[in-house]
């Protein structure tokens, strides 16, 4: 049994595997995000996009997400059942939004409860089975790799947008590129600056360019200079020290876990979150170095303070998100 699986015992299952998934995501963030500004991912160099299609993705926010979900369900064995549960939860949320007393007035049958528990247990077991495979990877099947590369090539625009724009935007600004774009084309200077720090190609987008020219023509010099300098100061940058990069993103993920768990009414303490990072470190170490803790993170009050520095934007985001308690 994995150490993270032991950590998850006696905790709400979906919340536990969400927290574990976020912790495992830390490896992706510090290794991959610095490559976003160079458009590199999955060992390949993504070409510059066709700009008309690229700009259109800012107006069709679901398209990159749908392609990402398709990639997961095609190449990740446990994704399909997880997505099914997410859809069920979304349906429950909508029912409760329309009528908070829906389940008091229409209680589920024993058969429905049994089926729900069966799906949840299946997802839970598949999650840990998949995680074990990830921690002990087998040689990649050449045919599967070829299929994956074909998929990447056919969906370069959407996947490039998802990984290079959507994910960094959510992590750094706690909002979507579509939401920022809507504000930017209405003349919001902060939104324009944030977008250009994510995507310097937007300086050539007509609606953004129009807002920039308006600043110039109305002699708003300071705001104009902010916009002009933004594309040269990308939000996703290299850390001079890889240890600093790991620590930064682990604090960010710990803050997400803390804020999200609080929003669900089952808040994890900083000590519990630190133990989760330690459990994952032990699972990755497999006894080679005798690790007991995550060496990037300090114990006790220092870790709590680290989370506190990152947590407020995530509290604000989840407070405005309809999450069933």
**Residue 192, pLDDT score:** 93
Same domain, 260 and 295: yes
> Per the domain annotation, does 126 fall within a domain?
yes
**Residue 244's pLDDT is what?**
72
CB-neighbour burial class of residue 128 (10 A; exposed 0-12, middle 13-18, buried 19+)? middle
Q: At a CB cut-off of 8 Å and minimum separation 6, what does 151 contact?
A: 71, 74, 75
Q: Checking DSSP bridges between strand 44-45 and strand 40-41, what pairing results, if any?
A: antiparallel
User: Are both 185 and 250 inside the same structural domain?
Assistant: no
Which pLDDT score, from 0 to 100, does residue 91 have?
Answer: 74
Q: Based on the domain organization, do 226 and 246 belong to the same domain?
A: no
Query: Is 33 a member of any domain?
Result: no
User: Is 26 part of any domain?
Assistant: no
**CA 28 to centroid of chain Cα atoms:** 10
Whether 113 is covered by a domain: the verdict is yes
Q: What is the pLDDT of residue 257?
A: 94
One domain, residues 246 and 226: no
Q: Please check whether residue 27 lies inside any domain of the structure.
A: no
Looking at the structure, tell me whether residues 200 and 284 fall in a common domain: no
Are 268 and 289 contained in the same domain?
A: yes
Q: Are residues 123 and 207 in the same domain?
A: no
pLDDT value at position 290?
61
DSSP-assigned letters across all residues of 1-67: --HHHHHHTTS-HHHHHHHHHHHHHHHHHHHHHHHHTTTEETTEEPPPPPHHHHHHTTT-THHHHHH
User: What domain range includes position 55?
Assistant: 39-157
Whether residues 254 and 211 share a domain: the answer is no
Residues 203 and 276 both lie in one domain: no
Residue 325: per-residue pLDDT: 36
By three-state DSSP, how is residue 231 classified? coil
- Regions of the chain short of the pLDDT cut 70: 31-32, 77-86, 88-90, 93, 235-243, 287-292, 320-325
Do 53 and 153 share a domain, yes or no? yes
Alpha-carbon distance 104 to 64, whole Å? 38
- The confidence score (pLDDT) of residue 161 equals 94
Task: Tell whether pTM > 0.95.
Answer: no
Do 221 and 247 fall within a single domain?
A: no
Q: Residue 76: its pLDDT value, please? A: 74
- 182 in any annotated domain: yes
Residue 123 lies in a domain: yes
Is 29 contained in some domain? no
Helix (H, G, I), strand (E, B) or coil at 183: helix
Number of domains the chain is built from: 3
Measured CA to CA, the distance from residue 172 to residue 168 in angstroms comes to 6
Task: Give the pLDDT score at 96.
Answer: 73
- Structural contact between residues 248 and 36, judged by C-beta atoms closer than 8 angstroms: no
Per-residue confidence (pLDDT) for residue 278, from 0 to 100: 92
Which two three-digit tokens encode residue 50? 């066709």
Regarding whether 306 and 224 lie in a shared domain, the answer is no
């Amino acid at each position: 049994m994995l150490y993270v699986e032991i950590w998850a015992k006696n905790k709400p299952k979906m919340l536990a595997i969400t927290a574990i998934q976020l912790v495992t995501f830390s490896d992706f963030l510090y290794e991959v995000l610095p490559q976003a500004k160079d458009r590199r991912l999955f060992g390949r160099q993504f070409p510059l996009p066709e700009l008309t299609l690229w700009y259109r993705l800012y107006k069709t926010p679901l398209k990159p997400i749908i392609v990402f979900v398709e990639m997961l369900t095609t190449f990740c064995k446990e994704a399909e059942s997880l997505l099914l549960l997410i859809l069920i939860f979304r349906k429950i949320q909508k029912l409760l939004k329309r009528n908070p007393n829906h389940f008091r007035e229409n209680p589920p049958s024993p058969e429905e409860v049994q089926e729900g528990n069966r799906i949840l247990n299946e997802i839970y077991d598949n999650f840990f089975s998949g995680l074990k495979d990830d921690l002990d990877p087998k040689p990649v099947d050449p045919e599967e790799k070829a299929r994956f590369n074909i998929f990447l090539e056919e969906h370069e625009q959407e996947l490039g947008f998802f990984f290079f724009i959507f994910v960094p935007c959510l992590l750094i600004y706690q909002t979507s590129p579509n939401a920022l774009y809507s504000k930017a084309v209405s003349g919001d200077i902060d939104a324009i600056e944030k977008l250009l720090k994510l995507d310097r190609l937007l300086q050539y987008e007509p609606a953004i360019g129009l807002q920039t020219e308006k600043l110039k023509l109305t002699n708003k010099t300071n705001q104009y200079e902010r916009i002009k300098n933004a594309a040269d100061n990308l939000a996703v940058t290299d850390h001079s020290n890889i240890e600093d990069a790991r620590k930064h993103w682990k604090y960010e993920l710990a803050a997400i876990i803390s804020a999200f768990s609080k929003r669900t009414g089952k808040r994890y303490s900083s000590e519990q979150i630190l133990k989760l990072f330690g459990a994952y470190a032990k699972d990755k170490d497999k006894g080679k170095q005798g690790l007991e803790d995550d060496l990037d993170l300090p114990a006790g009050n220092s870790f709590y303070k680290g989370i506190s520095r990152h947590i407020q934007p995530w509290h604000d985001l989840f407070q405005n998100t309809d999450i069933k308690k």
